């Protein structure tokens, strides 16, 4: 998860309420029905316990991540917690399917399983549950939990391994998983990520280049080890406060200025063999991924999104012909840590090349979504986002054309923030998506004016 979603109202109401459009009519699609049932997860927890009678599962169950691709897939991550301990006891993933597909999918999963005893069918929920780390797509994931093996890679002793534990930070089955490790005896902590072997190796090499560059002026986690067999790499763990939490109480102007000044330093780096983040790729992503999903999930807003897409296509020249820099590529508020030394960049495995406005618009659009969802300092946020180009050039970055920033801000409102609302089945998502479209339209409307004024 890279945004802290408040789902309390969802659990209280049992259905998705939308103050602007009224209560959403109940859909007969299987995924929508299951999403509504997830508002009351006690029955799901009961069914999981029945499916694994020989596994000791703690008394508290909670859902902490939802991944929904309308018309294609629905899965959740959940955890069984003990009130006497802070750490997660057991993590489970449940993939849901239509009634006609569930048995065939379960037969396939059993054949592919690494350990079939950690897989079960939940007929009452049309789901297949896996106990972590069972994942046929990431066969090395179990080894990531072998603390003796990890200790040897990181230079910790066997005694350290016996006094160590791990926690999941993020997980996308079959693709990647991020973990933190705490070796209590030595007092050291590490961050580990397993993913596609080629990508893991490339990420580690780039992080090493950045870490060793004497011209680097921003802080980052230190790359430590790479395991080619697992497709995994490890870094030092960065302690501090997540920026999203800091935004709730900190000085917003000062925090944003700190982020932008460090972004300028990152953009100064020159790394080889980076892929290009182009406006054409962003438009292709919107057309292929977002518009289709909106048609099936929020059809009442799909027409507006398509009109906005056509305007982006019409004005693509605003985003072309500018100098390129090294981009973070995933520049949202969960990828910074604040500590006593200042700001630290994390999750630098999506580095690419492109217009600096890509990172600026990524950051600004996610900041707006975060504060919109929490009803927290929104007018102040909108004013700051409009000033991001001036803040960037004032911090030493290349001058940014207002039209270019307006184009990317509108594009990423759709390509990234609307995608986020859909992917995690965000509470009140129809209202959130409608407001994001308002601001995308405003950004384009005001593109030829001196200042973008988001309503």
Domains along the sequence of the chain with CATH: 1-132 (no CATH), 137-237 (3.30.200.20), 241-445 (3.90.1200.10)
- Residue 213 and residue 7: Cα distance in Å, rounded? 43
Residues in the chain: 455
Check residue 17 and give its pLDDT. 39
pTM: 0.88
- Residue 126 and residue 34: Cα distance in Å, rounded? 9
- Residue 289 and residue 154: Cα distance in Å, rounded? 40
Per-residue pLDDT reduced to its tens digit, 197-221: 888 999 999 999 999 999 999 999 9
- Residue 42 and residue 65: Cα distance in Å, rounded? 16
Q: Average pLDDT, stretch 9-37?
A: 55
| pLDDT above 60: residue 11 | no
Query: For residue 158, how many C-alpha atoms fall within 13 Å in the half-sphere facing its CB?
Result: 0
| pLDDT above 50: residue 274 | yes
Check residue 247 and give its pLDDT. 80
* Model confidence band, residue 24 (pLDDT cutoffs 50, 70, 90): very low
Q: Kindly write down the DSSP assignment for every residue of 148-182, as one continuous string.
A: HHHHHHHT--HHHHHTEEEEEEEEETTTEEEEEEE
Asked whether 31 and 74 are in contact (CB, 8 A), the reply is yes
Q: Kindly write down the DSSP assignment for every residue of 92-156, as one continuous string.
A: EEEEE--TTTHHHHHHHHHHH-S-GGGEEEEGGGTEEEEETT--TT-TTHHHHT-HHHHHHHHT-
- Residue 455 and residue 452: Cα distance in Å, rounded? 10
């Amino acid at each position: 998860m890279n945004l802290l979603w408040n789902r309390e109202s969802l659990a209280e109401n049992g259905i998705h309420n939308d103050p602007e459009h009224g209560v959403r009519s109940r859909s007969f699609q299987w995924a929508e029905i299951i999403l509504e049932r997830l508002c009351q997860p006690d029955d799901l927890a009961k069914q999981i316990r029945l499916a694994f009678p020989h596994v000791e599962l703690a008394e508290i169950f909670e859902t902490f991540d939802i991944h929904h691709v309308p018309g294609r897939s629905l899965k959740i991550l959940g955890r069984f917690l003990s009130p006497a301990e802070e750490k997660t006891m057991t993590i489970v993933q449940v993939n849901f399917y239509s009634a006609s597909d569930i048995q065939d999918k379960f037969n396939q999963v059993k054949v592919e399983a690494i350990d079939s005893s950690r897989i079960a069918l939940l007929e009452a929920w049309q789901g297949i549950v896996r106990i972590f780390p069972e994942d046929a797509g990431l066969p090395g994931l179990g080894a990531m939990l072998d603390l003796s093996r990890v200790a040897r890679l990181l230079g910790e002793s066997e005694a350290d391994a016996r006094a160590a534990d791990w926690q999941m930070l993020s997980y996308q089955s079959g693709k990647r998983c991020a973990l933190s490790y705490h070796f209590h005896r030595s007092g050291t902590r590490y961050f580990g990520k397993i993913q596609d072997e080629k990508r893991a190796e490339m990420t580690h090499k780039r992080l090493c280049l950045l870490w060793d560059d004497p011209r680097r002026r921003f802080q980052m986690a230190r790359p430590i080890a790479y395991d080619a067999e697992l497709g995994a790499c490890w870094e030092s763990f960065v302690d501090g406060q997540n920026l999203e939490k800091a935004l709730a109480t900190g000085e917003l102007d000062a925090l944003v200025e700190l982020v932008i000044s460090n972004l300028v330093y990152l953009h100064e780096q020159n790394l080889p063999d980076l892929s290009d983040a182009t406006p054409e790729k962003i438009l292709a992503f919107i057309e292929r991924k977002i518009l289709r999903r909106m048609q099936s999930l929020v059809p009442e807003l799909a027409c507006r999104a398509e009109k906005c897409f056509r305007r982006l296509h019409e004005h693509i020249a605003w985003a072309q012909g500018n100098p390129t820099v090294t981009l973070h590529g995933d520049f949202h508020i969960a990828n910074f840590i604040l500590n006593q030394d200042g700001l630290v960049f994390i999750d630098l495995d999506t580095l690419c090349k492109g217009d600096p406005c890509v990172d600026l618009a990524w950051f600004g659009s996610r900041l707006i979504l975060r504060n919109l969802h929490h009803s927290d300092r929104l007018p102040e946020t909108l004013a700051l986002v409009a000033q991001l180009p001036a803040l960037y050039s004032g911090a030493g970055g290349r001058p940014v054309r207002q039209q270019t920033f307006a184009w990317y801000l509108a594009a990423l409102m759709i390509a990234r923030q609307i995608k986020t609302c859909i992917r995690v089945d965000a509470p009140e998502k129809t209202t959130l998506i409608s407001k994001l479209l308002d601001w995308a339209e405003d950004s384009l409307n005001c593109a030829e004016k001196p200042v973008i004024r988001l309503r």
